Every structure is written in structure tokens, then in C-alpha cells.
A and B are shown apart, each in its own frame.
Chain A
Amino acid sequence: MAKPTVAPVMRQGKFVPWLYLLPAIIVMSIFILYPMINTVNLSFQNASGTASAETTCREGQACWGAFENYRYALTNELNTSSAKAFWNSFWVSSYGNMVKWLVGMVSGTVIIGLLFAVWVDGIKSEALAKSIIFMPMAISFVGAGVIWKFVYNYGTSQVQTGILNAIISAFGGDPVAFLSKVPLNTFMLIIVGTWMWTGFCMTLLSAAIKSIPEEIIEASRIDGATDYKIFTKIQVPIIMPTIIVVITTMVINVLKLFDIVYVMTGGNYGTNVLATRMYTEMYANSQYGRGTAIAVILILFIVPFIIMNIRRFIKEEAMR
């Protein structure tokens, strides 16, 4: 396992390295590793973690035994009385919303980010334009929530002080209660997330585009390729690895998302996502078992990306 980065002269005792690592390992064990194991454990117990989850089952109702909290976490929001009811309830459940968020926000941030990165590449005020798009990254989800709540504001009188409803009214339309109307509200929240994270995707993609050798682009231009052709046939394929990194990063971010929903709707009106549901179970309902079961489901969604990450790391190390 001797890695090439360590020269023989730098060898040291067995003890010293662990001395350097010890503080980090202790802190991470207490705050990440131990709680993770404990969370899994709690998810199989009752609300206060004093007895098995099996004891919360009620006579005559569905019960998954020790997995009772998982039954609750997975099926409680769903209506299984008919296929149609199931379909409808799925799309306002935290799982249906997760799908909407994943599709909407990941594609929104990546597509707008990519287009913008290509469009501003080489223009005079490129730096300024990019920092405008990147700026929302610096502010909190809470701040962004307030900003957009005001944009979506639904006036009570004849006056619309929210700009979106004012525009709709100006064109003769009826004002819309954007944040309480299902299923529109989740999409309005996704716009907020997209607004915040596009700059992040754009910056990464822009760096990748700039690393494409100029000669390749010039050569294809001489061969008569249009901008569109260059974009689809050359730039996108070359930066594909970066696009994939951006997509996986965004998927992880979206799965963990909490603040936007919490601030703007509190998870009401069918806008719940896994993280807000977990919070409600923990705090409003003091249901630790159910809350942790939702957390475990959340991490199960993320595990594939953890594995991808480690794989990529191993590959990178091999190339060092």
C-alpha cells in the first residue's frame, strides 16, 4: 500500500499519524458514525425509543412488525383504495414531490446552467454576467424563500403587490395563489431552488467548456459546423464527465433539500418532501421512530451516489 506520494525519507513511527488523525476521527465518530448507527437502530423502535416498533401496531390494522415505522413512512401518505386514488395521492406525497423536485430542479439547473455557460463564453461582460447568476448561492434558502414569497405574493385586495400576480392581472388574468394551489405550488418552489443552484452548475460547466482546446472548435468551424452542431456534437460530448458530476451533485442536494419548503409552505398544501416530513415527525409529533425511519429511507436513496463517489475517488487516485 506504499503510495508513491510518500517518499521513504518521510516514514515515521506507527503512532504519530494517528496522533494527527485522532481529533478528526473522534469528532466524526461522535457526530456522524455513531449517530448513523443509532438512527438505524431508532428507526426500529417506538416513538420515544423505549421499545420495539412492533409494539406500536394496532389490532386489525396493517403491520410490518419491526418495520412498522417503515410501513408508516412509506405508505401513510398513500391512498390504496383504488389505482386512481393511489396515483393521485402519490403525486402529492413526499415521494411524488421528490420525483418532481429531482426532474424539475436537476434538469432546470443543468440545462439553464449549460446554456448560459455556452452563451456567455467569451463575451465582454462574461465575469459580471456569471456573478449575477452565481449570487443566489451566497444567500440562505431562508432569504431566498422570503424573496420569492414576495414574488409569488397573492394580494388580498384588488391590489397585487407580488410582481407575478401583477403581471397576470395586467394581462387580464385572475391572480393565482401560487403557494397553496396543488400541484402548481411544488413547481413554484422548484423554481426557487433552480434560481439558487443554477449558478453553481453554470460555473462548473463553464470551467469544463473553457478547458476544451480552442483548436478543436476552430477546426470544426473551418469544416463548416454551425454553432448548434459544435454545441451538440463537440462541446457536450467532451464535457460529459463534468455534466455527470454536476447531475449527481444536484441529485444529492435535491434529496437533502429542506429549507425552501420549510420556509415557504411549511410542507403544507401537499408540498412535503422527505426532509420536511422527517422534521415534522420529530418535532411536531415527537415520533423519533418514524422520523428516523424517514431518514434511513433518505440515505438509502443516496447510497448509490456514495458508492459512485468512492469509485470515482479510487479511479482518480489510480491516476495520480
Chain B
Amino acid sequence: MISLTRGKANKNFDLTRLLTTIGIIIILVLWLIPTIGLLVTSFRPLPLINTTGWWTALNVNNGPAAAQHPDPNASYVEKLSTRFTIDNYVDALTGYRGTKSYLTDCRSGTKPLGMNCNLSDLLNPRGMGRAFLNSIAVTLPSTILPIAIALFAAYAFSWMNFKGRYAVFAVLVGLQVVPIQMTLVPVLRMFAGMGLNGTFPAVWLFHTGFGLPYAIYLLRNTMSSLPKDLFESAYLDGANHWKVFTTIILPLTTPAIASLAIYQFLWVWNDLLVSLVFLGGSKPVMTYQISNMVTSLGAGWHLLTAAAFLSMLLPMIVFFALQRYFVRGMMAGAVKG
């Protein structure tokens, strides 16, 4: 029956099939080209970035005379090798703002301003190396704390019976969509009074507060869908809530915890507003550093593209390695509204 349908349908399907294929390809190309442009540009020397389009990167003869290979008879591969560089990444990581490049300066013996030409330059406050460490320092506690707290609350909401359970949870559902902007000013003033502005705990606490409603909601939905028999037999065997929580619930919710952790991790990693407000320039994270480079003068496309790619590296790895969990976390977050 099915094969008959398909055969019959095929005749007038062909044109549709072709058009949809074209549609798919157009969309895919549109989606890929901007990122490819960034990636290619981040590996090109500055003089070439400013004079030729990244799509001509494989043309080894264009651009200013200074960018040409010294030997005009060199082979294509030799010429090509001088037209790509990792200098941009080194300069971005170290926060180099000179006129040549960090490596050139260091090799010629003139130390760039405020730098030592050794590994300690990776910790230069202007560089993306330092910003990477700051981002990690912000992100890890901001991921672990809300999930830890949410696990307890979600357990109470799904397997304990108490007055007001339903009402409290409904409030929580509503809190999920409260925009961050709504709470920034009072929290900023509160932190100012406590001397917390510009410190990591300020960001950890804020992200914990804001991550909680969604974390509790997701974990509660997972926990309450576990089969009831599991619990009943455990209780009949004399287990208390704590025992059930640690030996039954935690192992069974691990996939949900993984999705949630990835979601929260990327959310915090990619966040600009909270870091901008509570950390600012005192402990610059990657997003802050890049947004600063965009608006301030002196950071050309070579630095900007390399810095942007450095900030995407970790999210991309997480995304491609743990895609299933990531998508699940995002989707559960979606239904929250």
C-alpha cells in the first residue's frame, strides 16, 4: 500500500522535491557563511583583512605589496602559508595592542608595553586568556549552586505533601519569565551596600537566584514522572526522605541534571548583561572583553574575530559533544515559556 502511494506520488513530487532541496541549501548556506567568514578572517594577517575580502583568502597574489611572498616564484603552497597566521590569536589572548604583533615584538627583543614575553602575559588583564579564566570562575559556581539548591526544592515539590505546595509552585512558574532587567537596580544597590560589586560572589549569587525557577521547574517535572512504586517500596523498607533522595532520586535524574547543567553553563558563559553590571572591568569575562573591543578604538578586525572565536570555542565543543543533552535542556526551557 505504502509503496503504491509513493510511486503514484513521485511524479508530481519531483518539482517540489527539487524546490525544497534548493530551499534547504539556501538556508544552510545563509546560516554557515557568517561564521565561516569569521573563522577564516581570524587566521589572516591584518594587512590582508583590511584590503581583501575573506572569500579571496585562497588567492595568493592580491593585497598590498607588503603582504606578498618575498619570492615571486614560490610555489602556491608556500605562498599560501604566509597568508595565514596564528598571530591574531596570540595577540588576542595576551591583550597585545601594539602596531605589529606580540610574537614579532618579542622575537625582535623589544618587549611590548607592560608585557614580559613569557607565559605570564596570558594573565594580562586586557587579554582574552585572563578573560577565559574569569569566565570559568564565573560560570562553574553559577552552574553548580542553582542546581544543587534546586534538587532539594524539586524533591519537596514532587514527593512531599505539604500545605501550599501547589500555590508556591505556581508562583515559581510565573517567576521564570521575570526579565533580569526588573531586578538589576535593587540588587546592584544591595551589593553596593555589602561591598560585593566587582566580585565573583556577586555574579554567582545573582545567577543562582535567576537560574533557580527554571531549574526547579525542570527537575520537578522529571522527578515527579518517576514511577511511584520505586518510592513506596523504599519507604516500606524503612528508608527516610534523605535516603530516598540520595540513593534513588539523584541517580535517576542524572540525565535531566546534565541537560540543565549544560543549559545553565552556556547561559552564564554567554551572558553579557549580568557580568557588565556586577563585574564590569574589574574582572572582565570574555563577553565583556569582546563588547569592549567592539566599542573601543584600537582593536581591529584581526583581534575581534580571534577573540570572538576564542569565546565560542567552549560552547561549540559542548554543543557538538553533548548535543543531545543541550537540545533537551533548551527545549525543556522553551516549554516553560
- A binding-site residues for B, Cβ under 8 Å: 1-3, 5-7, 9-12, 14, 16-18, 20-21, 23-25, 27-28, 30-36, 38-39, 42, 49, 112, 115-116, 119-120, 123, 129, 131-143, 145-151, 153, 157, 159-161, 163, 166, 195, 198, 200, 203-204, 207, 218, 221-222, 226-228, 245-246, 248-249, 252, 255-256, 258-259, 262-264, 266, 274-275, 278-279, 282-283, 288, 291-292, 294-296, 298-299, 302, 305-310, 312-314, 317, 320
Docked Cα-Cα span, A23 to B176, in Å, equals 17
**CB <8 Å contact, A7 and B228:** yes
Docked Cα-Cα span, A151 to B41, in Å, equals 11
Contacts of A157 in B (CB 8 A): 51
Total of A-B residue pairs, C-beta within 8 Å: 329
**CB <8 Å contact, A24 and B150:** yes
Docked Cα-Cα span, A262 to B173, in Å, equals 29
Chain A proximity mask over B28-54: 1 for CB below 8 Å, otherwise 0: 101111110110010000000111111
Contacts of A30 in B (CB 8 A): 190, 205, 209
Say whether, besides A5-B228, A148-B34, A227-B16, A35 and B158 are in contact (CB < 8 Å): no
**CB <8 Å contact, B179 and A139:** no
Residues 281-331 of B at the A interface (beta carbon under 8 Å): 287, 290-291, 294-295, 301, 304-305, 307-308, 311-312, 315-316, 318-320, 323, 326-327, 330-331
| Option from A14, A132, A159, A310 in Cβ contact (under 8 Å) with B51 | A159
**CB <8 Å contact, B330 and A203:** yes
Docked Cα-Cα span, A314 to B1, in Å, equals 43
Contacts of A294 in B (CB 8 A): 181
**CB <8 Å contact, A2 and B161:** yes
Number of B residues with CB within 8 Å of any CB on chain A: 112
Docked Cα-Cα span, A16 to B9, in Å, equals 63
Say whether, besides A135-B319, A140-B270, A151-B37, A20 and B155 are in contact (CB < 8 Å): yes
**CB <8 Å contact, B162 and A141:** no
**CB <8 Å contact, B160 and A17:** yes
B contact face: mostly helix, strand, loop, or mixed: helix
**CB <8 Å contact, A27 and B272:** no
Say whether, besides A133-B27, A138-B318, A138-B319, A160 and B53 are in contact (CB < 8 Å): yes
**CB <8 Å contact, B152 and A24:** yes
